[in-house]
Structure 1
């Protein structure tokens, strides 16, 4: 019960019967709208409630009167803050200052909570950064792709592998003098051999087991070949294990039996030929299928070649006897590719 301030002598009302308190008198006076300075009316109501003893006479508000709004605000500001709990103290940042304690306990003064943001509006420096919301920062870029062929000579190596040699260069003067020396009539002028890409290229991409790890390398190489040879003279077909079954430029359900391209086309095969599969190696049936494929291409006037993601010492003998093979590796040079692909 809040103690009121009186100008005259202090008088109190003792509690009445069980269950009747001075607070009941204050509640009754408020409900009836009785003036607190009317001592006679207050005394009568107290007697009716069974309270004993004198009551304050006319004057300032009795001690059971509710305080005014300014007095309540002043009392709230002057009241000490509640004690700080241990778990609340542990959650405070390192740079937060603990207020002086006003509550004494068995273990000494207890820290009290204070607002972290005062009138200055400064923000606390937290020990750990807040988690960034989704979409705040830039999207993570895809890691750069590195070609399996040497970057500085990749274009020259691909041009060598994809082109074919034709006798359409400068006049071969040495052969011309030899023909003159024999006295035989010339049917045509002998010319030096040069490489050309005008016959176009067909790329057969193996999607079978053992080549899954090179899927992105195959995609990047196909894009590079399209730029070098030209979009209109490049034909890309996909197969699994062997093109003798079915091939196609799109989804597997659209594949059809393989037909060789026009005569003179360079056919480049991107495959591991089963050498990347676990076990003792590719089955003999696979080499029989590739033998039929290469025979079909040569009858059509096409020239097959292969890029294999293996070192040269791991090339199987049946493969090198079927077609020219170039290692799809950083150790490959343009000179090596030119010596292996006529």
Structure 2
């Protein structure tokens, strides 16, 4: 005589007991009903993905038959015998290789081969979630004031060219003199069309400011776009820059004629660290003279206050203190202070 179907959770609870932070029985039944496993082997894989592992083969078989009968509405009762609760798989943090082993088969195919399918050997066990803890308890504030950092970088990366509105005075003068215009004269204006070359010092003395240099690269690329040329160096660009593909040190090539150059470095203020000699003033003078002959304006951001900036900086380099006091006014007129 068929018995009355029981509640789903009551049907499966003798064979499946959740451990800490394991999926609920409602989730198990919902997944099984959705996927409709055709064999105990597939059901075993589903239970493992949800965090259940059996202690005994008979217990697992009993639990699988119970789950299938509950989902399909069958009136079959639980198999005889005391069921051993299943436990949550514990993540072995001491052995990383163990987590890469394929999930073994715990069920035999009924009426067929006991060889599990190939995909089961390629399945990787899930890792227990790891709690992420930041390296610092408090957020590190950026060197530049976020409210004006974009305006500052745009001012540094721009170049003054005759791309503004039409120069009506010049056009009128040519017309009065009855001279033809080869091209329409325009007023000078700041523009980013020349692009910018960004040089980032990645020497040991600049490691404390790596978060700010990374943010500087992102901000400059978002402002200038494809015209941003990024190069990395140690101590001074004249000693060589890193090749983007090989990572080897290659000769520094100046930018095209007139392209602005932005350098993020400490100019040797941080000292000689990691066996790397600090940059010398003569190197930076030569660097500034080389770019001045090509018509490139060079701006150097030094991650120290204004009072720490070197007094030997040549006139060919516009040296600015990279801190919260830097403003657009100081970038436009360095001699007028902050």
1:201 aligns with 2:196: yes
The CA deviation string for residues 230-257 of structure 1, in whole angstroms up to 9 with x for no partner, is 1x32221111111111112448961101
Q: Do the aligned partners of residues 186 and 291 (structure 1) sit closer, same or farther apart at CA in structure 2, a change above 3 Å counting?
A: farther
* Aligned-residue offset at 1:302: 2.5
Structure number with larger C-alpha Rg = 1
Q: Is the 8 A contact 1:161 1:337 kept in 2?
A: yes
1:293 aligns with 2:295: no
Partner residue of 1:147 out of 136, 142, 146: 142
C-alpha separation in 1, matches of 2:143 and 2:178: 51
Q: Is the 8 A contact 1:209 1:241 kept in 2?
A: no
Backbone CA RMSD of aligned residues: 3.6
SS of the residue aligned with 1:274?
coil
SS of the residue aligned with 2:281?
helix
Q: What residue in structure 2 maps to residue 233 of structure 1?
A: 227
Q: What residue in structure 2 maps to residue 309 of structure 1?
A: 303
SS of the residue aligned with 1:302?
coil
Q: Is the 8 A contact 1:209 1:277 kept in 2?
A: no
Q: Is the 8 A contact 1:311 1:327 kept in 2?
A: yes
Partner residue of 1:323 out of 302, 306, 317: 317
Q: What residue in structure 1 maps to residue 270 of structure 2?
A: 276
Q: Do the aligned partners of residues 302 and 135 (structure 1) sit closer, same or farther apart at CA in structure 2, a change above 3 Å counting?
A: same
Q: Is the 8 A contact 1:176 1:189 kept in 2?
A: no
SS of the residue aligned with 2:223?
helix
* Aligned-residue offset at 1:177: 10
Q: Do the aligned partners of residues 321 and 190 (structure 1) sit closer, same or farther apart at CA in structure 2, a change above 3 Å counting?
A: same
Q: Do the aligned partners of residues 186 and 330 (structure 1) sit closer, same or farther apart at CA in structure 2, a change above 3 Å counting?
A: farther
C-alpha separation in 1, matches of 2:207 and 2:317: 23
SS of the residue aligned with 2:323?
coil
Q: Is the 8 A contact 2:159 2:192 kept in 1?
A: yes
Runs of 4+ in 1 over 6 A off after TM superposition: 182-189
* Aligned-residue offset at 1:217: 1.2
- Structure 2's unaligned 5+ residue stretches are 1-92, 94-126
The TM-score, its normalising length taken from structure 2, stands at 0.51
C-alpha separation in 1, matches of 2:177 and 2:198: 47
1:263 aligns with 2:247: no
Aligned length: 203
Q: Is the 8 A contact 1:236 1:249 kept in 2?
A: no
Q: Is the 8 A contact 2:263 2:300 kept in 1?
A: yes
* Aligned-residue offset at 1:135: 4.9
1:336 aligns with 2:322: no
The TM-score, its normalising length taken from structure 1, stands at 0.51
C-alpha separation in 2, matches of 1:302 and 1:169: 20
